[in-house]
Structure 1
Amino acid sequence: MPIEIDFFLNNINYIGAMVLFVIGLYTVLTHPNLIKKVIGINIMETSVFLFFVSIGFISGANAPIVEQGQAAETVVNPLPSAMILTGIVVAIGVTAFALSLIVKIHEAYGTIELDEIMQIRSAEKND
Structure 2
Amino acid sequence: MGIGGMPKVRLESLNDEIESLKEKIDSLAKENETLKEYAARAEKDNIFEFAPDAMILFNKGGYIIDANRAFCTIVGKEIQDVIGHRLEGFIAEESLYKLNRQQELLEQGWPRKGNTPYQTR
> Normalising to structure 2: TM-score of the pair?
0.30
User: Which structure shows the bigger proportion of residues in helix conformation?
Assistant: 1
Structure with the greater relative contact order (CA < 8 A, sep ≥ 6): 1 or 2?
Answer: 1
- TM-score, length-scaled by structure 1: 0.29
Higher Cα Rg: structure 1 or 2?
2
Higher strand proportion (structure 1 or 2): 2
